[in-house]
């Protein structure tokens, strides 16, 4: 409980939190930090978010809370001056709620997006952590203010974590300061339970003819559906399986065109607890991301890669900047013919005991538990220097 906590984590991000069927890096990290600390995550309301209670604060788990603007303090886009006043009220309301949960604990502000840097400066804090998992200013449709906000975050942060090594190098060239490379992790124990036979197989997958070429994750604009369509047409005897929500507004008619292929199967969103079982029934995992700079995935550090390795599966990914760090554990491909050749070869690799063991050993060393242990030790080290 709160009285046993070492410090309070006040987290800010622009994305939804604890969405059913999803466990992104922020959820993986914050749920583990809540084992020993009070954690309050603040996120804007979204169409996918759970209903917001009148207080704005939802209890997600032990020591773990999520704040989103309550309905009586909405954004007022039509009248900017009124919205600025309402924003001060929202900020005051949020700070009072945080104070009621965090008490007198040392307060660690954990920033996942530079959008909130001006807001967090209204809060008392012992430490500011900035966790970079994308090139926010370089993304399509990024606001002009984003570059200024990120520079301000880099100037003020006590600790800066960066998920992607290439992104870290690029940030060092534009703003010289200490950075810590913190790649994504994996929920290794969940995959161990499947290997030990404590999880049931997924019936929907059992009914799909092997070999199964699978992608697990949100199907949105970062996925190269034109490539996948060519792969599916070139290998009609392979089943291409997509597990996760489909963002039809982003993909337009491309998803419908792909769905017309008889060897393509969309299973839709699955509870996150089923992901290890789903991957255990896949023959080859794929991460077919678009590769051009400015796309979401260019600086990606995909969770899907780590999860496929934890399942001991062959995995093929587009040649995005993060893939080379995996060496022989992950095959990279560029262009349709290369992808087809890599899939064909990976199907022969799947049962090689040495390959499977190497993948699982990598995942064991790079678990989320290990990542959060490092974050916690660095935070406590900085806090101890202030006493």
Question: Are 376 and 354 in a shared domain?
Answer: no
**Sign of the C-alpha dihedral computed for residues 102, 103, 105 and 108 taken in this order:** positive
163 and 193 part of one domain: no
CA 36 to chain centre: 22
pLDDT at 2: 39
The answer to whether the bond into 211 is cis (omega within 30° of 0) is: yes
Question: What is the per-residue pLDDT for 245?
Answer: 84
Evaluate whether 184 touches 153 at the Cβ level (below 8 Å). no
Greatest extent of the chain over all pairs of C-alpha atoms, in Å: 65
Q: What percent of the chain has pLDDT over 90?
A: 54
Structurally, how many domains does the chain consist of? 2
Q: Same domain for 66 and 205?
A: no
Strand 159-162 with 127-132, pairing: parallel
DSSP, collapsed to helix, strand or coil, labels residue 105 as coil
pLDDT at 1: 39
Q: Residue 353 maps to which CATH number?
A: 3.40.50.2000
| 86 and 207 belong to one structural domain | no
9 and 124 both lie in a single domain: yes
360, two tokens: 């699982």
Helix axes 368-384, 25-33, angle to 10 degrees: 60
Q: What does the pLDDT read at residue 243?
A: 93
Buried-state track 266-278, b at ≥16 Cβ within 10 A, e below 16? ebeebebebbbbb
Same domain? 169 vs 206: no
Residues 323 and 285 in one domain: yes
Same domain? 352 vs 277: yes
Same domain, 72 and 194: no
pLDDT in tens, 136-159: 888 777 778 898 999 999 999 999
Q: Where in the sequence is the domain holding 257, given as residue range(s)?
A: 188-365
Summarize the confidence of residues 64-92 as an average pLDDT.
84
Across 43-47, 62-66, 270-274, 345-349, least confident range: 43-47
pLDDT at residue 230 is higher than 90: yes
Can you tell me the distance from the alpha carbon of 313 to that of 350, in angstroms, rounded to the nearest whole number?
6
36 plus 140 within the same structural domain: yes
Nearest residue to 284 via CA among 229, 344, 219, 232: 344
CB 163 within 8 A of CB 4: no
Q: What angle do CA 212, 217, 218 make, to 5 degrees?
A: 125
Same domain, 47 and 118: yes
Res. 49 pLDDT band, cuts 50 70 90: very low
Pick from 16-30, 54-68, 89-103, 261-275: least confident? 16-30
* 347 lies in the same domain as 371: no
């Amino acid at each position: 409980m709160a009285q046993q906590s070492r410090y309070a984590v006040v987290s800010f991000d622009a994305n939804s939190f604890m969405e059913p069927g999803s466990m992104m890096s922020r959820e993986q990290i914050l749920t583990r930090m809540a084992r020993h600390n009070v954690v309050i995550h603040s996120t804007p309301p979204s169409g996918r978010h759970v209903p917001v209670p009148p207080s704005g604060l939802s209890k997600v788990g032990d020591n773990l809370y999520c704040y989103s603007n309550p309905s009586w303090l909405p954004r007022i886009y039509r009248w900017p001056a009124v919205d600025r006043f309402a924003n001060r009220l929202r900020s005051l309301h949020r700070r009072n709620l945080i104070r009621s949960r965090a008490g007198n604990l040392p307060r660690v502000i954990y920033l996942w997006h530079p959008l909130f840097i001006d807001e967090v400066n209204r809060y008392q804090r012992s430490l500011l952590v900035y966790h970079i998992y994308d090139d926010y200013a370089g993304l399509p449709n990024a606001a002009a203010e984003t570059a200024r906000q990120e520079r301000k975050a880099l100037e003020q942060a006590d600790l800066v974590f960066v998920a992607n090594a290439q992104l870290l190098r690029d940030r060092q060239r534009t703003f010289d300061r200490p950075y810590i490379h913190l790649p994504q992790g994996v929920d290794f124990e969940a995959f161990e339970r499947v290997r030990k036979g404590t999880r049931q197989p997924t019936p929907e997958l059992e009914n799909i003819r092997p070999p199964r070429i699978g992608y697990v994750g949100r199907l949105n604009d970062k996925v190269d559906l034109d490539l996948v369509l060519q792969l599916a047409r070139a290998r009609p005897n392979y089943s291409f399986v997509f597990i996760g929500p489909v963002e039809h507004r982003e993909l337009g008619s491309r998803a419908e065109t792909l769905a017309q292929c008889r060897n393509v199967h969309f299973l839709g969103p699955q509870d996150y607890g089923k992901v290890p079982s789903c991957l255990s029934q896949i023959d080859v995992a794929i991460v077919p991301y678009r590769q051009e700079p400015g796309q979401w995935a260019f600086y990606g550090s995909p969770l899907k890669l780590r999860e496929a390795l934890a399942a001991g599966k062959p995995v093929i990914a587009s040649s995005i900047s993060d893939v080379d760090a995996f060496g022989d554990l992950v095959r990279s491909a560029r262009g349709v013919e290369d992808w087809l050749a890599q899939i064909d070869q990976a199907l022969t690799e799947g049962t090689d005991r040495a390959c499977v063991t190497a993948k699982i050993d990598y995942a064991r060393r790079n678990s989320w538990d290990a990542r959060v242990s490092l974050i916690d030790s660095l935070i406590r080290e900085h806090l101890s220097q202030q006493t």
